[in-house]
A and B are shown apart, each in its own frame.
Chain A
Amino acid sequence: MTTVPAVALVGISKRFGAIVANDGVDLVLSRGTVHAVMGENGAGKSTLMSILFGLVSPDSGNIFVDGKPTTFSGPLDAISSGLGMVHQHFRLFESMTVAENVVYGAEPRRNGLVNRKAAHDRVRELSARYGLDVDPGAVVGTLSVGTQQRVEIFKALHRDARILILDEPTAVLTPGEVTSLFAVIRRAADAGTTVVLVTHKINEVLSVSDEVTVLRDGRVTGRFQRADATSAKLVHAMTGREVTPVANSGSGSVGAAVLRVNNLTVVDHHTVRVTDVSVDVRAGEIVGIAGVSGNGQHELVEAILGTRRALSGTIELLGRDIGAASVRDRRALGLAVIPEDRRGEGSAVQLSTAENLTLGHHRTAPVGASRGLRRGWISLRAERARARDLIAEYDVRTSGEQLPVGSLSGGNAQKVVIARELSHNAPLLIAEQPTQGVDVGAIEAIHGRLLDYRATGGAILLVSHEITELLALADRILVMYAGRIFAEFSRSEATTARIGAAMAGAQAETDIPTEASRL
């Protein structure tokens, strides 16, 4: 074909010390298309985008914009050449209004002062053009994450970006917000904007992209047109191996109730977080809890674990009322938890991997002892041996069990948490976002383990905002919204659309309240 591509990156290489983040990468973006850049964590996607946007200078390779060789000395350069970027982590002024953020650096002026009215009009105009509703006068810090992201997008569109780079934009969005984001992306592309969508989610690539470039370990391992791309091909290019998705077959026998939560209400700082929630989880069953984060799921988990007191209601574990029991007693009775906040709650980053794996196992064999002379003492040798075994079993990539967990990548740190909690073999496992930050290949391994847990009679309460994960694993799915169980679906009734709608509070609202109702 003869059309000049909007952007061509040729032979881009970039090293960070010993790490080769990009290794001879070619990326060609055709004008007016949505181009997905895929790859697992650490594949080099963000680095490549930073190079394109002038934030990082490549060690070698060339950038062509509209066919002309270009070097960007910084992002301002890139912006003036018509590029715009929405970063993985937002770069907004939280105490300023939407309009101020959008026009920042390219303010409409009148008599040398910023023209506030023009700025507001501009935001309204962009809102109307792209069908995204944002209040120009709202203070950014008070907005939901999804809305903040729209502000980021508006910032780029305000400067008439012809090439829009979105780095993992959906990681923080609800299904409804993802849908409306994709509508905007489509509209922008149809209007001639070239969109680069960085992601590691296959369904997103398949639903919105025209072309796909796959990276692995800094190299291009696949290029596809939308029509040729299949889920299997993409996964293979990303991981370098065949990954067979696992799913709950629905078979197996369900036993007695392991967890019984009745009419639980949890209040935090005068705000009701959980309202009258009842859930049962039986042996050999995975009960999924769907919901946008902040709708009470985490407080429910904390109440079951015992790190938070419930206002009213009862919690029974294996038929015993544990409402007044300590965390330690609840765990001893048969509870393990994979928490949502890995760094804040699920691990101690300065402590070694071995020590992180030991917590909760330090008073029982083999590391500790629950009776006899060795009771209350720890065997360092047993701790090391156990840590090595778990590191091997769970494929944690680390150069030693004595290295601090903080030095591991997010996915590997997550595996440490999972290894520690699964190795309790507790009758009840609560898994909150168990695959967060974990690569595609490892996700399937973790899903497989959860299904094995279920098959051996374990009861699992699975809290997730990944609908695909819930559909693959859960026997039943409850949706939490504003602190209540808003809907319940059996395996056969559950569909992405139904769950997504319930997560948003059933009505197709554009803005989902993340705060539960005030007392």
Chain B
Amino acid sequence: MNIEPVPGGPGTVAPRAPEPLSRRSRASALLTLAVRHPAVVPTGAVVLAVLIGAAIVLAAGLNPISAYSAVLAGALDLENLDYTFSVWALICGMALAAAIPLRMGEFNLGGNGQMVLGGLAAAFIAGQLDLPSILLIPLAVVAAGVVAGAFGAISAPLSTRYGIPIIISTLLLSPVAVAIVSYLLRFQLGEAGSAVAQTERFPDSAHMWALGSLSYSNMGLILIIVLMALFWLVDSRSAVGFELRVIGANRRFASYGGVRVGRLAFGAMAASGAVAGVVGAIIVLSPPYRLVDGALLSPGYTFAGLAAALLAGGRPAFVPLTAALFTILQVGGGGMERSADVPRQLSDVLQGVVIIVLALRTIVDSRRTGRSATS
């Protein structure tokens, strides 16, 4: 066997400075970046949901195009826009309540309970205190935030101290709060002599300020927009927002880096509950200006908001958009039923499909990372 140094072998290889990545690999890096872009999967989920919805409508012997155009027309009709925006504010608020813990990888499924407790606190202030609007409304909103925030925050120590997952404790505590509020409305705080379990109508000083001549959208919409902007700012520019994202990405990495995971979880759950409570306050301070048993829950803002937050991956910039999508479905569902003869339940089906596609993504992702971890 004859082994000799290859021509131009080790002796002659010119020393080479570390060179930057080639253009080829930069292009492929860009491609990966594009495919991994956070908007890709959600968009795919929506497109898929729309197609599946179309298939269902077709299977029922109806015309999907007219169904969808009825949805859009119902929601985006100029006359309806005022109403659509008022619903968007509430869904957006509940999406925000879900998005905050989602940043640290936790699910708040207790939006209903937090929202109802917030509504109760606001109703109590609005009904009991005789103050001018300028004090009464902020006070009611703040009280709602504090009470619901405290309720939401309970789940944090339950998780960090006692190991009860936040997703479980929020889910289980929520009906308790709903039942308590319902009880209070029926037997303690309810309007005497009314057949419906509801409070008395609040005085005018407790009516949420209108926005010009709009009849549905009021200052609550502005409040939610401000909260969204605040969320975006804290998420992208603050130390706390950064720490939350680090926890969401890798909890061990966060602890190792000195992030106080327990405290942050407490703060995030309190903020999440507080936002849900504020949504409850906005609802009761709007027409019919009462806290009506069950009225906060029946429109399903919590679930729509949760779906919107999941679709946005909790990202502040996307939440308003995905919330708008579910708002259109919800508001336009009625129009679709009227003009295209498609039951409004199709909206729920589409919401469900989006969630399933997102869940599948999570599974695929974990499979993929599981595999690459061993390769």
| Mask: chain B, 234-272; 1 = CB below 8 Å from A; 0 = not | 001111101101100110111111111000000000000
Q: How far is the CA of A107 from the CA of B14 in the complex (A)?
A: 53
Asked whether, in the complex, the Cβ of B246 is within 8 Å of the Cβ of A348, the reply is yes
Q: A222-B5, A240-B15, A345-B253 are in contact. Are A376 and B240 (CB under 8 A)?
A: yes
CB of B3 to closest CB in A, whole Å: 5
Residues of A within 8 A of B25 (CB): 18-19, 399
- A68 on interface, CB distance cutoff 8 Å: no
CB of B243 to closest CB in A, whole Å: 8
Q: How far is the CA of A403 from the CA of B250 in the complex (A)?
A: 17
- A173 on interface, CB distance cutoff 8 Å: no
Asked whether, in the complex, the Cβ of B13 is within 8 Å of the Cβ of A403, the reply is no
| Mask: chain A, 293-308; 1 = CB below 8 Å from B; 0 = not | 0000000000001010
Q: How far is the CA of A399 from the CA of B257 in the complex (A)?
A: 25
Asked whether, in the complex, the Cβ of B1 is within 8 Å of the Cβ of A345, the reply is no
CB of B361 to closest CB in A, whole Å: 14
- A245 on interface, CB distance cutoff 8 Å: no
Q: CB-nearest residue of chain A relative to B241?
A: A378
- A349 on interface, CB distance cutoff 8 Å: yes
Asked whether, in the complex, the Cβ of B239 is within 8 Å of the Cβ of A343, the reply is no
Asked whether, in the complex, the Cβ of A220 is within 8 Å of the Cβ of B29, the reply is no
Residues of A within 8 A of B253 (CB): 344-348, 359
Q: A348-B246, A377-B237 are in contact. Are A399 and B3 (CB under 8 A)?
A: no
From B16-24, B299-307, B344-352, give the one contacting chain A: B16-24
- A470 on interface, CB distance cutoff 8 Å: no
Asked whether, in the complex, the Cβ of A305 is within 8 Å of the Cβ of B240, the reply is no
Asked whether, in the complex, the Cβ of A378 is within 8 Å of the Cβ of B373, the reply is no
Residues of A within 8 A of B20 (CB): 399
Q: A395-B18, A399-B25 are in contact. Are A351 and B260 (CB under 8 A)?
A: no
Asked whether, in the complex, the Cβ of A236 is within 8 Å of the Cβ of B13, the reply is yes
- Across the interface, A18 reaches (CB within 8 A) one of B15, B16, B24, B239, namely B24
Could you say which of B10, B20, B24, B245 has the most chain A C-beta atoms within 10 Å of its C-beta?
B10
- A122 on interface, CB distance cutoff 8 Å: no
CB of B356 to closest CB in A, whole Å: 23
Q: How far is the CA of A205 from the CA of B250 in the complex (A)?
A: 39
Q: CB-nearest residue of chain B relative to A220?
A: B6
The total of interchain contacts (Cβ-Cβ below 8 angstroms) comes to 138
A contacts with B, residue count (CB < 8 A): 62
Within 8 A of B (CB), among A30-76: 30
- B367 on interface, CB distance cutoff 8 Å: no
Within 8 A of B (CB), among A274-321: 305, 307
Q: How far is the CA of A453 from the CA of B373 in the complex (A)?
A: 32
Q: How far is the CA of A477 from the CA of B112 in the complex (A)?
A: 60
Residues of B within 8 A of A359 (CB): 242, 246, 253-254, 257, 259
B contacts with A, residue count (CB < 8 A): 50
CB of B371 to closest CB in A, whole Å: 12
Residues of A within 8 A of B249 (CB): 348-351
Residues of A within 8 A of B338 (CB): none
Q: How far is the CA of A351 from the CA of B244 in the complex (A)?
A: 12
- A363 on interface, CB distance cutoff 8 Å: yes
Asked whether, in the complex, the Cβ of A326 is within 8 Å of the Cβ of B373, the reply is no
Residues of A within 8 A of B5 (CB): 222-224
Q: How far is the CA of A17 from the CA of B255 in the complex (A)?
A: 38
CB of B262 to closest CB in A, whole Å: 10
Q: How far is the CA of A399 from the CA of B28 in the complex (A)?
A: 10
- B9 on interface, CB distance cutoff 8 Å: yes
- B4 on interface, CB distance cutoff 8 Å: yes
Within 8 A of A (CB), among B1-49: 1-6, 9-10, 13-16, 18, 20-22, 24-30, 32-33, 36
Q: How far is the CA of A130 from the CA of B5 in the complex (A)?
A: 34
| Mask: chain A, 239-253; 1 = CB below 8 Å from B; 0 = not | 011100000000000
- A401 on interface, CB distance cutoff 8 Å: no
Asked whether, in the complex, the Cβ of A327 is within 8 Å of the Cβ of B9, the reply is no
Q: How far is the CA of A241 from the CA of B19 in the complex (A)?
A: 13
- Across the interface, B32 reaches (CB within 8 A) one of A237, A347, A407, namely A407
Q: How far is the CA of A453 from the CA of B36 in the complex (A)?
A: 38
Q: A236-B13, A331-B258, A339-B256 are in contact. Are A378 and B242 (CB under 8 A)?
A: yes
- Across the interface, A237 reaches (CB within 8 A) one of B9, B14, B257, namely B9
Residues of B within 8 A of A30 (CB): 1
- B194 on interface, CB distance cutoff 8 Å: no
- Across the interface, B373 reaches (CB within 8 A) one of A236, A343, A403, namely A343
- B374 on interface, CB distance cutoff 8 Å: yes
Residues of A within 8 A of B22 (CB): 18
- Across the interface, A222 reaches (CB within 8 A) one of B6, B237, B245, B252, namely B6
Q: How far is the CA of A362 from the CA of B237 in the complex (A)?
A: 10
Within 8 A of B (CB), among A317-367: 326-328, 330-332, 337, 339, 343-351, 355, 358-360, 362-363
Asked whether, in the complex, the Cβ of B256 is within 8 Å of the Cβ of A400, the reply is no
CB of B56 to closest CB in A, whole Å: 35
Asked whether, in the complex, the Cβ of A345 is within 8 Å of the Cβ of B252, the reply is yes
Q: CB-nearest residue of chain B relative to A398?
A: B21
Asked whether, in the complex, the Cβ of A377 is within 8 Å of the Cβ of B18, the reply is no
CB of B18 to closest CB in A, whole Å: 6
Residues of B within 8 A of A236 (CB): 10, 13
Asked whether, in the complex, the Cβ of B10 is within 8 Å of the Cβ of A221, the reply is yes
Q: How far is the CA of A345 from the CA of B257 in the complex (A)?
A: 9
Q: How far is the CA of A362 from the CA of B13 in the complex (A)?
A: 44
- A117 on interface, CB distance cutoff 8 Å: no
Asked whether, in the complex, the Cβ of B242 is within 8 Å of the Cβ of A358, the reply is yes
Residues of B within 8 A of A237 (CB): 9-10, 13
- A28 on interface, CB distance cutoff 8 Å: yes
CB of A393 to closest CB in B, whole Å: 13
Q: CB-nearest residue of chain A relative to B240?
A: A376
Within 8 A of B (CB), among A203-234: 211, 214, 220-225, 233
- Across the interface, A397 reaches (CB within 8 A) one of B14, B21, B28, B33, namely B21
CB of B248 to closest CB in A, whole Å: 9
Q: A237-B9, A403-B29 are in contact. List 16 more A-B contacts (CB 8 A).
A: A18-B25, A18-B28, A214-B10, A327-B256, A327-B257, A331-B257, A344-B252, A347-B253, A348-B250, A359-B246, A376-B239, A376-B240, A378-B237, A378-B238, A398-B21, A404-B36
Q: Nearest 3 pairs between A and B by C-beta?
A: A328-B258, A348-B249, A348-B250
